Amino acid sequence: MGIKSSVTTPLRAETYKNLQLNAGVMLVNCDLDQYDDAEELKAALAELIADGSTLLGASRGGGSYVVTRNMRNVEADGVRANFKGGTIVDGGDVYLSTTLIEQTPEHLKAVIGNADIDDTKPNHIKIKIRLAIDDDDYIQNVVWVGDTSEGFMAIELYNALNTADITFTWADKNEGTVTAEFHAHQEGVDITEYLPTVLHYFTPSTALGEITISSAAGTNVGETAITKNYTLGTGEKFVYKVGTAGAAPAIAYLEKADYTWEEWNGSSAINVGASANGKKITIAVVKGGKALSSGSCTLAVKTA
């Protein structure tokens, strides 16, 4: 008789909701506590990346987060094994490493730390490396933000300073890179309970997000031009549905948009028919077919 084998696996349907994806972004002096959920952080990240002032720079090869703890077990005569409650943490260190491919003076100053930028000549900027480390050389916080299957995770280091050697490399047919290994530091000697780092998880809000839309008559009869204040994220799509003059179509958070909803590319005029003028339309943002946000307005349609 043959032996039947089965595989026991910890994989669950929820596993795919808990994956960390892609390389993420590195930021400096970013207050994560002001954001309450994944939607707020997503909108803020788009602005922070576009602005660039808190962006550490584009990276290559991802990075790493290392927490080392100096641990020991209490020793006593006759003890032959380690016992629960007998382990002591004498201290620890926190490091966040990456490799940057952007080489602006500001990026290099952040990486080097104990350096001064001499910009007396606007088109000839110098970076001078000091032997002394000033309080201002410590970066208030260095933050890595990475995607998860349904939101974001973030790693925050307080009072970060690159304590590793500065290595700037270049190669033919390639870009120059500079490595950074940021070391977290306590704010003061009286802080002894926690290491100077925090891990954050941002999950989607359980409430349907709101987007603002408006409608104007299109170029051709039956068309409407929709404007919106939302930029699609990875894997997201717009769908729409026309209701009545008195009621806009509704959809709940994470509700599946069925066949009665039609996809919209976010820019083209929508042909809803001249008879839809004055009716309500709802635009929803869906990911995997499930609603994340929506907005409604009264349709203005070209009728003649």
Q: Is the CB of residue 249 less than 8 Å from the CB of residue 243?
A: yes
pLDDT band at 17 (very low <50, low <70, confident <90, very high): confident
User: What does the block give as tokens for 168?
Assistant: 């700037």
Q: Quick one: which of 139, 61, 50, 147 has its CA closest to 101? A: 61
What tens digit of pLDDT does each residue of 154-169 get? 999 999 999 989 899 9
CATH class of this structure's domain 209-298: mainly beta
Pick the more confident residue, 280 or 203: 280
So what's the architecture of 14-73+86-202 in CATH? Answer: Roll (2.30)
Largest CA distance in the chain: 97
Distance CA 37, CA 6 (A): 40
**If we measure between CA atoms, which residue out of 132, 127, 93 comes closest to residue 110?**
127
pLDDT of residue 200: 96
pLDDT at 205 over 80: no
Residue 25 and residue 42: Cα distance in Å, rounded?
Answer: 12
Give domain limits for the chain.
14-73+86-202, 209-298
**Strand-by-strand arrangement of the 236-242 sheet:** 209-210, 290-298, 280-287, 236-242, 262-264
Of the pLDDT bands very low, low, confident and very high (cuts 50, 70, 90), residue 1 is: low
> What would the pLDDT profile of 212-229 be if each residue is shown by its tens digit?
999 999 999 999 999 999
Q: Tell me: the pLDDT tens digits for 37-51? A: 888 899 899 899 988
Model confidence over 232-270: pLDDT tens digits? 988 999 999 999 999 999 999 889 999 999 999 999 999
DSSP state of 197: E
